[in-house]
Amino acid sequence: MLTPVFPEWTTAWSHLGLWLSLWDQDGVQAASGGAGLPFWDSLLRHSVRFRERLGELARQTRESDLIVTNLDSTGGIMVAVVPLVHRQRFYGAVLACGFNSEFLDEEAFARFCSQHQLDRLVFAKLSDGLPIIEPGQFKALGRILCYQMQSLHGQALQDSDIDQLTANLAQTYEELNLIYRISAGMNALAGPVSHLEQVCRELVGATPMESVVAILEPNGITGDRPTVIRAGPVAASDEELFKLCNQIRGNGVPAGAAHVINHVRQNTQFAWASAWLRQLGFYDLARKDKVFGALLAINRTDGQDFGSCEIQLFSTIAERSASFLETLRLYDDLEHMFLGMLHALVNSIDAKDPYTCGHSQRVAWLSRYIAELAGLSEAKCRRVYLAGLLHDIGKIGVPETVLRKTGRLTNQEYEEIKRHPAIGARILRNVHEVEDIIPGVLHHHERLDGRGYPAGLKGADVPFLGRVIGLADSFDAITTNRTYRPAQHVQVAAAEIRRCAGTQFDPGLAEILLQQDLQALYARMTEFGQQSIRAQAGGQFAGLLGGKL
């Protein structure tokens, strides 16, 4: 710990005639400095015996306090050995060397040069003028040096501990912030793919992980094929990633536990992946007996091994993701059940009028399709679908005699029909989960020219949901059989929509609908309506979730 600043501390001692050197716990020199550098540096270079003796003295201090001794039998060089111990751990030693008066004796100096195999004339010149320290004075300096160096060493270790603690706190903050950001993005509307895209992206950005890959199994949430999500450079194909996951699972890795291989290229089992795989972290995204996929950390940017900190963070986020995927599955099951109940309810209402059987499902499908063409998000399109599905729920309050009447309606009967949007809104107003779609149910018979019902809204005052559902409702009404007339051709419906664009219909929505292949659109819409009837008969509603196209 003293190495970076050790040369600065030697300056004051050099004025007293001491040369200081720093040695580690293995007796290896780490740094030096002080008075008479040319002499001592040359001595270090040319005398193996000198280096070995200093290393031996450094190691001997492991269980001792200050040692003051002669370097060798010549007695001309004295050495003070200061052990560096902190919290009962030995870190090394500081050695202080100096000359005493015996070094002035020519015979003693000659013996010293002979023992160390030195050129006497060269070293005599190098030692000329170096300070002489008496033994008593040297011991006193040694005690002061011991106190100072041990104090400085303790302070350096404390500073290092503080720096390490600060770094750990900063890293912990970043990790907690990462977990918070990912947790904040966990909502059912985001979906599993969007969530895992964020997980992979955040892990690559905040850790030394070079690449992170998420694999979603086909489990009813993500479709019929595995979905691969990548962040960072991954040279492997999807098939190779599938093979890697299956191979690790085949080794008996328990679900819910991280599996780390830091030296993949030394493992012959993965020789086939050696071109792109160096280090691997693996976590099965599973809850209980349900496996949703896997999360893989592939390689480190610095080539080091995956350590406990990275794997702990990786495991924490993977565990949260597995819980989130389980929640999504449960939410998906609930939504299937909820929509199944709604389809059953809507079918029972449509059944009051055999001419409109499947009408609500077709309007829901087409409303969602128009919303997608208009650029709405997936989440909003799902709400448009739900609004379309429930747009006629108020007909439950309209007498069947009126709904089934084949002739012209009287004014009173027409007023009964006009009540169904308000009845529908009243039915839904206390259901918190669908309160956002009530404007579509209440205002799908409004017109831009203000001649609609029930509120006679005009222009921009007509809610967007009402405009979308009103357009879809009219298209289906024109192209299907009614009690008062047979179904019309889609071209008739197109002409009517074009004629009423700007008065009855939103001109922008009308235009994007008319740009489509209406004959193909009609066929798909009709098939969806028939599918809903078959699902009602068989009690199977899962395929109708969200009216997916």
Closest CA to 228 of 282, 161, 297, 293: 293
* Residue 173 within any structural domain of the chain: no
Determine which of 156-170, 453-467, 521-535 has the lowest per-residue pLDDT on average. 156-170
Is residue 387 located within the same domain as residue 534?
A: yes
pLDDT at position 549 over 60: no
Cα of 460 vs its chain's centroid, Å:
42
Question: Cis ω on the peptide bond leading into residue 454 (within 30° of 0)?
Answer: yes
Write out pLDDT tens, residues 428-459. 888 887 889 999 999 999 999 999 999 999 99
Is residue 227 located within the same domain as residue 357?
A: no
pLDDT value at residue 291:
83
- Given a contact cutoff of 8 angstroms between Cβ atoms, the answer to whether 328 and 221 are in contact is yes
- Given a contact cutoff of 8 angstroms between Cβ atoms, the answer to whether 374 and 472 are in contact is no
pLDDT at position 355 over 60: no
CA distances from 542 to 114, 381, 461 (A): 98, 18, 36
pLDDT value at residue 347:
67
How many domains are contained in the chain?
3
* Residue 460 within any structural domain of the chain: yes
Q: What residue type is 2 in one-letter code?
A: L
Is residue 435 located within the same domain as residue 502?
A: yes
- Confidence band, pLDDT 50/70/90 cuts, at residue 224: low
Q: What's the pTM value of the predicted model, to 2 decimals? A: 0.50
- b/e map of 476-495 (b: 16 or more CB within 10 Å)? bbbbbeeeeeebbebeebbe
Is residue 433 located within the same domain as residue 538?
A: yes
Strand partners, 77: 99
The CATH number of the domain holding residue 380 is 1.10.3210.10
Is residue 205 located within the same domain as residue 142?
A: no
Is residue 321 located within the same domain as residue 364?
A: no
Is residue 118 located within the same domain as residue 195?
A: no
Distance CA 11, CA 391 (A): 89
Distance CA 365, CA 356 (A): 15
* Residue 175 within any structural domain of the chain: no
Q: Considering the chain, what is the average pLDDT of its residues?
A: 83
Write out pLDDT tens, residues 245-257. 888 888 777 666 7
Range of the domain at 48: 6-161
The CATH number of the domain holding residue 82 is 3.30.450
pLDDT value at residue 483:
64
pLDDT at position 544 over 50: no
Is residue 101 located within the same domain as residue 19?
A: yes
More confident residue, 49 or 10: 49
pLDDT value at residue 533:
62
Is residue 145 located within the same domain as residue 51?
A: yes
- Given a contact cutoff of 8 angstroms between Cβ atoms, the answer to whether 56 and 41 are in contact is no
Give the Cβ contact number of residue 394 at 10 Å.
Answer: 22
The CATH number of the domain holding residue 279 is 3.30.450.40
* Residue 171 within any structural domain of the chain: no
- Given a contact cutoff of 8 angstroms between Cβ atoms, the answer to whether 487 and 522 are in contact is no
Length of the chain: 549
* Residue 343 within any structural domain of the chain: no
Choose the final residue of a domain: 145, 161, 177. 161
Is residue 318 located within the same domain as residue 194?
A: yes
Residue with tokens 């309810």: 345
Write out pLDDT tens, residues 263-280. 888 888 888 998 999 989
* Residue 420 within any structural domain of the chain: yes
More confident residue, 174 or 358: 358
* Residue 168 within any structural domain of the chain: no
Give the Cβ contact number of residue 385 at 10 Å.
Answer: 26
Q: Crossing angle of helices 48-60/37-46, nearest 10°?
A: 100
* Residue 345 within any structural domain of the chain: no
Is residue 136 located within the same domain as residue 195?
A: no
Is residue 383 located within the same domain as residue 259?
A: no
pLDDT value at residue 220:
46
Pairing of strands 29-34, 19-24: antiparallel
